[in-house]
Amino acid sequence: EEGRKVLDDQLDRLVPPLGTYPPAIHEALRYTLLLPGKRLRGNLVLAACELLRGRRENALPFACAVEMVHASSLILDDLPSQDNATLRRGQPVLHRVVGEANATLAAVALLNRGFGVTLENSLVREKVCNEAGEVLSRAIGTEGLIGGQVVDLESTGKEVDLDGLEYIHSHKTGALFMAAAELGVLASGGKVRDREALSLYAKNLGLAFQITDDLLDYSGDPKVTGKDAGLDRDKTTFVNLCGIDGARQLVDDLIDASVGYLLPFGKRSRRLKALAEHVRRRDR
Ligand code: GRG
């Protein structure tokens, strides 16, 4: 909750204020970005950095960049040509407010600003900024979010087995969780060994998060989740493949596995552990 407030404030500062010319695009890009999201991925960047005794302010630009990329992906995911959603973060989806053209441009603008903020992080060495940019680019690309989304869309209405489903979700959702953990490690100046451990923590967490998303799509309350329910009805999900109990068991197994990667860090991993436990129990 505390990290969420810090991120909300900083995100507000990092994008042009309302009224900046041309006003329509600035209104559009601020809309989804600044609506109340959970800021889970941004918090993951901050907590990974702090775990390794890095300074929070060094990680803050990377955390904001991840949240900008995430908001960009939500806007695109909601478009009529993709998931055709109506509700996001408790409000009408962006394209229903500003139209598809400006919603698409806002998504691209957020993506662009995310890279700008990453490369402009003056609190870390230039080499670290460049590496952070590479991590983000790989996570978003055709072997990350975009790849996962393409396979998700082409699989709609078709049967998908567990391996196929795992591919979709570890890419369209898990890849950004992994990048978030890695950016936190980079901002802290952490070692390769730390990066590997936290990236595996995030991989398991990301998949668990997606399964809880499937569970919420099936039985969540849109008034609480702030987004449509039943949007996945034409898709194979962990719920229709494994049943509710099977999906819950998978979440437990994945969260246990993710927390297992924190053991070498002892008490310092308290926040990352709390984040994982939050995902296990979340209702929004
Ligand atoms: C070019 C960035 C970019 C992406 C293109 C559209 C796309 C490829 C990928 C879709 C990725 C996506 C939206 C995956 C779903 C992940 C998910 C479960 C999102 C919901 O996240 P929450 O619950 O949302 O953390 P809040 O609103 O709390 O931030």
Give the residue from 217, 135, 236, 147 showing the smallest Cα distance to 177. Answer: 135
Q: Whose CA is nearest to atom 29 of ligand 1?
A: 37
- pTM for this prediction: 0.97
DSSP string, 45-75: HHHHHHHTT--HHHHHHHHHHHHHHHHHHHH
Average pLDDT over residues 124-153: 98
For 244-280, letters b (16+ CB in 10 Å) and e give eeebbebbeebbebbbebbeebeeebebbbebbeebb
Which one of 7, 33, 76 would you pick to mutate in the ligand 1 pocket, going by the greatest count of ligand atoms within 8 A of its CB?
A: 76
Among the atoms of ligand 1, which is closest to the Cα of residue 67? 29
Q: Whose CA is nearest to atom 4 of ligand 1?
A: 73
Which one of 43, 66, 74, 238 would you pick to mutate in the ligand 1 pocket, going by the greatest count of ligand atoms within 8 A of its CB?
A: 74
State whether residue 215 is helix, strand or coil. Answer: helix
Question: Residue 88's beta-bridge partner residues?
Answer: 91
Which one of 7, 70, 115, 279 would you pick to mutate in the ligand 1 pocket, going by the greatest count of ligand atoms within 8 A of its CB?
A: 70
Distance between CA atoms of residues 280 and 70, nearest Å:
21
The answer to whether 254 and 208 have CB atoms below 8 angstroms apart is: yes
pLDDT of residue 49: 98
Q: How far is the CA of 201 from the centre of ligand 1 (A)?
A: 19
Average pLDDT over residues 36-61: 97
Cis peptide before 22 (omega within 30 of 0): yes
pLDDT of residue 233: 86
* pLDDT tens per residue, range 197-217: 999 999 999 999 999 999 999
Q: Whose CA is nearest to atom 13 of ligand 1?
A: 74
181 CB less than 6 Å from ligand 1? Answer: no
How does the average pLDDT of the chain come out, rounded?
A: 96
Residue 13 has pLDDT above 90, yes or no: yes
What φ, ψ does residue 86 adopt, rounded to 5°? -115, -25
Question: What separation, in Å, do the N-terminal and C-terminal C-alpha atoms of the chain show?
Answer: 14
Average pLDDT over residues 65-93: 98
* pLDDT tens per residue, range 228-263: 999 888 899 999 999 999 999 999 999 999 999 999
Distance between CA atoms of residues 192 and 180, nearest Å:
15
Q: Could you give the percent of the chain with pLDDT greater than 70?
A: 100
145 CB less than 6 Å from ligand 1? Answer: yes
Among the atoms of ligand 1, which is closest to the Cα of residue 36? 27
